Amino acid sequence: MSTGFGSASLLQALLVIAVVGAAYVPLGDYMARVYSRSNHLRVETVIYRLGGIDPDLEQRWTHYLAALLAFSMTSVLALFALLRLQSYLPLSEGHQNVSPALAFNTAVSFTTNTSWQNYAGEATLGHLALAAGLGVASFTSAAVGMAAGVALVRSLARETDRVGNFWVDLTRGSLCILLPLSILFAVVLIASGVVQNLHGPQT
């Protein structure tokens, strides 16, 4: 029995390594182009204008870090509030508000991309909390992590303390990398029969 489990685990590990090995050049090259291009897409320009962001302003690492931490703290507070107010919001599916300790634990966990859950999701959270809360936090936390990685690479490659613009890196990572990948994998999941809808829970 343990031999079969070991073989399955080894096969899964080899599959992950093979996929990463096959994707790192085209995906890595694409990501490098996304983060290094000087022009801005029209949708990016709209976001920068709405946010009062100068996309051509290079930040020192201290300002970059401050922006990253400010965004992450705001994300924690927004997700915490969403979980605490769940019962008053639409699509709660009759679930009650999440307790303060669990809401804070969950908000920090998903904002830091740990995604640790101390509850049964379908028995605790409604559609809005799952999609607009945990879904968005999972998405943006990955974009924040990629932005931090890009800033680190720039700091090692450049002879200056300017490491880019956090808001530009966050926007490009979300719109140009994560969004296309999520659409691609969503199509794969749908083709595999995985369904998510706004109906009530089913046994």
Per-residue pLDDT reduced to its tens digit, 61-96: 999 999 999 999 999 999 999 999 999 999 898 899
How many percent of the chain have pLDDT more than 90?
71
Beta pairing partners, 161 = none
CA dist 106 and 52 (Å) reads 30
Beta pairing partners, 60 = 162
Cβ-count burial 45-70 (b if 16+ within 10 Å, e if not)? eebbeeeebebeebbebebbeebbee
Counting every residue written for the chain, the total comes to 203
Amino acid identity, residue 116?
A: W
- pLDDT for position 1: 47
Name the DSSP letter for residue 87.
Answer: G
pLDDT at 17 over 90: yes
- pLDDT for position 6: 79
Per DSSP, the three-state class of 162 is: strand
Amino acid identity, residue 16?
A: V
Query: 104-107: long-range contacts (C-beta < 8 A, 24 or more apart)?
Result: 104/76, 104/80, 106/79, 106/134, 107/75, 107/76, 107/77, 107/79, 107/80, 107/83, 107/137
pLDDT band at 3 (very low <50, low <70, confident <90, very high): low
Mean pLDDT within 140-161: 94
